[in-house]
Amino acid sequence: MTNPAQPVSRTYVEFDEKFLEPGSGEGEVIDKIVERLRRNNEWTFKKYKHGLRDAHSKSHAVVRGELVVDSALDPQLAQGLFATLEKRYDVIARISSTFPTIRSDQIRGIRAIAIKVLDVQGSRARKDNVSTQDFVLVNHSTFPYAGARAYLQKAMWVAWLLARVPDWLLKPFTESLAWVVSFFHIPVPYAVKLLIQPNYEILGLHFSSASAVRYGDYVAKISLVPLSEPVTELEEKPIPPNGGDDVHRAQIAEFFANNSAEYEVQVQLCTDARTIEDARLEWSDSPQRVAKIVFPQQNSDCFCRRVYADDLLSFNSWTALEDHTPLGSINRLKAKVYDASSVFRHTKNNAPRIEPTDIAQLPLCKPGQQPPCATAQQPPDNPGQQQGQSI
């Protein structure tokens, strides 16, 4: 029996090039998924006359912040982006819901935060020439499907429905299902469980990459959890049912008009290589802090910022350092899906794909300011790189 007074020794999975190899026939499976999801893109474009992401369509806030690497880290944690202790990076974050269409915030569902870290130097996962590192995080710690093949077999009908079922039908259905499951303790598939989870204030949620990424010499998941009191007070706090269809946007705007927010960046190192290809499996090791992100008081409900982030910026886990290459079938699926969605969206909207090189490029809006806002500034002699793919 392990002595509780002694630390538990962990053997962490070391990165191996074999983790980059696709499964047999995986490419053909992914191509089928891309083609079917394109039909959702076409359907939403006809509805809105505007190209949307095929996931994370509705943004609730776009905020600037600063990521600060901790001053002391164990060697296993001082990897990649976090290798230089006390290093500071500017970040842009987009907070969203993951539906493939614009829906009322009163509808339960998966929430997300996409973080773009600026001025990150080093070898790239896809050999691009940008200088950003993206983390796309959701409020669940594992993925509902093991890999691309399972996604094709089990998830495509869900994606089709979530793009087309009207709010007036989806909301009562999910509310009723949530009540039945809770009252009778009925087991449901994990994908369904995610869609009927409580509708809490977004700033109090815990976010995770939900699938494996390379972490320098190791493999890990990246997570973001509330740290400062103003956001920890929002953990598991339900939204008001009479708050309207854009209650998340309104609450976040009210929060940042009066508060700053701090979050811990945590790393969960992998101890079981099976979890890399099977994204459903829970990870056993506890997350460990490596940095914090500070979002200062600001105007998060800025129209010009939303246009900049929704139509021009790219948030993609494959916009990454080589040390943080996404791993596993689900992430190889995302690579093609995100790219195809990006090309569709930017082409339909006649909008360039921009990777920012300086935080000054993010539009600056004063509280209550209406368009035209202060325009995004290109730093002299260093124009924004018009590259990248987005979700």
Domain layout of the chain by residue ranges: 17-361
Tokens of 289: 């802090």
> Cis (ω within 30 of 0) for the bond into 356?
no
pLDDT attached to residue 8: 44
pLDDT attached to residue 371: 63
For the segment 330-373, what is each residue's pLDDT rounded down to a tens digit?
A: 999 999 998 888 888 999 999 988 999 999 999 987 766 666 66
Low-confidence ranges of the chain (pLDDT < 70): 1-9, 367-391
For the segment 229-283, what is each residue's pLDDT rounded down to a tens digit?
A: 999 999 999 999 999 999 999 999 999 999 999 999 999 999 999 999 999 999 9
% of the chain beyond a pLDDT of 90: 83
- Answer for the pair 293, 91: CB distance below 8 angstroms, yes or no: yes
What number does CATH give the domain 17-361?
2.40.180.10
pLDDT attached to residue 10: 72
pLDDT attached to residue 367: 65
Residue type, 92: I
Confidence (pTM): 0.91
Tokens of 200: 């809490």
What distance in Å separates the CA atoms of residue 28 and residue 38, rounded to the nearest whole number? Answer: 16
Residue identified by tokens 């806030």 is 61
